[in-house]
Amino acid sequence: MNTEVKIAGVTFKNPVMDASGTFGSGIEYSVFTDLNRLGAVVTKGVADHPWPGNPTPRVAETPSGMMNAIGLQNPGIDVFVERDLKFLEDYDTNVIVNVCGHSKEEYLNVVERLADEKRVDMLEINVSCPNVKEGGIAFGTRPEALYDITKAIKEIAKQPVIMKLSPNVTSIADMAKAAEDGGADAISLINTLTAMKIDIYKRKFALANKTGGLSGPAIRPVAVRMVYEASHAVKIPVIGMGGIATAEDAIEFMMAGASAVAVGMYNFHDPTAMIKVIDGIEDFMKKTGVNDIKEIIGCV
Amino acid sequence: MENSMIRDEAEVLTNKEIADGVWRMELKTKLAALAKPGQFVMVGTHSDSHLLMRPISISEFEKDDNILRLVWRTVGYGTNEMAAARPGEVFSLLGPLGNGFPVQDADNKKHILLIGGGIGAPPLLGLMKTLRETHPADEITAVLGYRGKATGLFLTEEFEKYGKLVISSDDGSVGTHGTVIDAIRENGLKADIIYSCGPMPMLSAVKKYAAENGVRAWISLEERMACGVGACLGCVVKTKHEDHHSHVNNARICTEGPVFDAEEVEI
Ligand SMILES: Cc1cc2nc3c(=O)[nH]c(=O)nc-3n(C[C@H](O)[C@H](O)[C@H](O)COP(=O)(O)OP(=O)(O)OC[C@H]3O[C@@H](n4cnc5c(N)ncnc54)[C@H](O)[C@@H]3O)c2cc1C
Ligand SMILES: Cc1cc2nc3c(=O)[nH]c(=O)nc-3n(C[C@H](O)[C@H](O)[C@H](O)COP(=O)(O)O)c2cc1C
Ligand code: FES
């Protein structure tokens, strides 16, 4: 039985990883989850300098999911390399670094800084975070801007580049194509859906930022549809995410066209969720006579 | 980060309403052996719709018997689900989480003041018990603020076992009519170290009182939490000095806290 998948020349022992921002850099959750078992660790978005993020409250529970407006708080690339990348050196798993920026230059600074870091297997470019007012959103919602930033990053990146798409667009297929045309090695989706929640007794927004990104099982059917549409629009591999909680959910995304999957907010519900997904995929393969996980990718 | 946190399926041993909408539960869990006063646990719900675990302070722990006691007020889905639980029912717990109260800071101190407001009192009980191991009862005073007699006082007999107890109430039905600070003044209490947990306005008042009197106050903060273990950055508080983790003066309450030096945080 083979659970290995290959994305842009990088081999994953299995197709399961965490979704950026829900797992830190793996440090905290390593107590509950053996990181060596994961296909990859995807780290929290990092910028070229420290970002303070948004005021609190930053998170709110919603039906079968949650909203967040963390605002991409991060300690900056220097601390990240020194602390988080160093921590991950000891583990036998791929490392995918999620990158954020307020401008093209800021993205490029991070990509350049990571160019010679051997521990980084891939870059994931977050052009879709709906939280940060200063930017980010622009690259992810217009095809031309997405094409431009992809091209600029690809010119200097030493690692394969995954462009992470925003679902807050009219045509996800157009965005997927723009990333592919810009030279992306892969795409990942979906990021969170822009949402709002109001506390009717306090007459206040649930989040200080007013809006936040919706994630969790509530968004899963939307995500499956978008992964299907995007994967049919491009030839490059797709990493699917959005509400994955179980192995069945992961398999659904793969049948829709994803070569690999990520578990996001469900880690908060169950810190051992990813291990259960990995074990469950193997059980499913055994039960249904799948010898190679690649057989099911886009099989519907 | 505490390397001693675990995930455990904990069995409910007892569950009782001890005041209006305030419940006290005893759970069997090996997590108790790892606990320190002021730490908390994340409690899982049994619902597919309410997916986030709920942060609840550890009120007391019996290391040898693997018993953990939680005390909470029912306010929404999760706390009501906990209130409805029968003995034998099982809850998923993560913990113990956070730093807890620095007990050793009370070493050599003769006037230890524990200040609790409402549902902030329970974690101070575990603290008082621990302090009692190294201090005579007359060195430890708990000042607890309640709404009033009508909604019920809770845990007062427990607190009295380990030191002095002074009470204030919003409606004046018991103890000092007013705030915990009013009670401190009325009783002429002295402090050379303060530990506190309660609603934000009370903590602000404690911070002010401590600053005016040149006393260090350790306060336990609350914030909305998603992970409880330091991964999501949902639960931060602005700090005076840069913390080792965030580098942007936004410390994680779940990990660098929930207990902070009042001087260190902007509340
Ligand atoms: C470190 C810490 C320790 C705590 N200890 C205690 C305790 O010992 N006893 C007690 O009664 N309460 C305690 N609280 C508050 C307790 O977490 C909330 O009352 C509880 O989460 C409410 O959940 P619910 O499902 O009943 O309410 P809902 O309104 O249904 O909750 C919806 C969401 O909001 C969150 N939430 C709601 N109110 C709060 C709050 N005040 N603080 C943080 N999150 C909140 C919930 O966790 C959940 O994610 C503590 C909070 C923190 C952060
Ligand atoms: C608290 C939180 C923080 C997140 N931070 C990031 C981030 O830094 N970069 C990013 O590309 N996506 C971020 N995301 C989006 C997730 O990676 C993922 O795309 C989304 O949550 C959908 O997956 P899920 O439903 O499984 O959570 C974050 C999501 C959450 C809930
Ligand atoms: S609750 Fe996630 S970092 Fe504190």
CATH classification at residue A253: 3.20.20.70
Q: Most distant CA pair in chain B: distance in Å?
A: 52
Active site residue A129: yes
The reply to whether A56 falls in a domain is: no
Q: How far is A105 from chain B (nearest CA, A)?
A: 21
**Based on the number of CB atoms within 10 Å of its own CB, is A298 exposed (0-12), middle (13-18) or buried (19 or more)?**
middle
Domain that holds residue A80: 5-50+71-196+215-295
Q: Is B115 helix (H, G, I), strand (E, B) or coil?
A: strand
CA of A46 to the centre of ligand 2 (A): 13
The reply to whether A210 falls in a domain is: no
CA of A115 to the centre of ligand 2 (A): 24
Contact A70 B248 (CB under 8 A): no
The reply to whether A59 falls in a domain is: no
Nearest CA in chain B to A45: B232
Counting ligands in written order, the one closest to the CA of B221 is 1
Instruction: Using an 8 Å CB-CB cutoff, list residues of chain B that contact chain A.
Output: 1, 3, 5-7, 44, 48-53, 92, 94, 223-237, 245-250, 255
The reply to whether A257 falls in a domain is: yes
Counting one residue from chain A and one from chain B, the pairs whose CB atoms sit within 8 A come to 112
Nearest CA in chain B to A59: B234
CA of A84 to the centre of ligand 2 (A): 18
- Pairing assessment for the beta strands A40-42 and A94-99 based on DSSP bridges: parallel
Contact B224 A23 (CB under 8 A): no
pTM: 0.96
Residue B177 makes CB contacts below 8 A (sequence gap 6+) with B168, B169, B171
Closest residue to atom 50 of ligand 1, CA basis = B56
Taking contacts as CB-CB distances below 8 angstroms, the residues of chain B near A29 are: 229, 231
pLDDT tens readout for residues B222-266: 999 999 999 999 999 999 998 888 899 999 999 999 999 999 999
- Spatial separation of the C-alpha atoms in residues B208 and B217, rounded to whole Å: 10
* Token couple for B157: 């007999």
Closest atom of ligand 1 to B52 CA is: 49
Structural domain total, chain A? 1
The reply to whether A58 falls in a domain is: no
Higher pLDDT, B183 or A141: B183
Q: What is the pLDDT along chain A (300 residues), one digit of tens a residue?
A: 999 999 999 999 999 999 999 999 999 999 999 999 999 999 999 999 999 999 999 999 999 999 999 999 999 999 999 999 999 999 999 999 999 998 889 999 999 999 999 999 999 999 975 445 445 456 888 899 899 999 999 999 999 999 999 999 999 999 999 999 999 999 999 999 999 999 999 999 999 999 999 999 999 999 999 999 999 999 999 999 999 999 999 999 999 999 999 999 999 999 999 999 999 999 999 999 999 999 999 999
pLDDT tens readout for residues B4-51: 899 999 999 999 999 999 999 999 999 999 999 999 999 999 999 999
The reply to whether A252 falls in a domain is: yes
Binding site membership of B254 for ligand 3 (Cβ less than 6 Å)? yes
Are the C-beta atoms of B123 and B58 separated by less than 8 Å?
A: yes
The reply to whether A233 falls in a domain is: yes
Nearest CA in chain B to A267: B227
Confidence at B1, pLDDT banded by 50, 70, 90: very low
The reply to whether A209 falls in a domain is: no
- Counting every residue written for chain A, the total comes to 300
* Token couple for A217: 């099982």
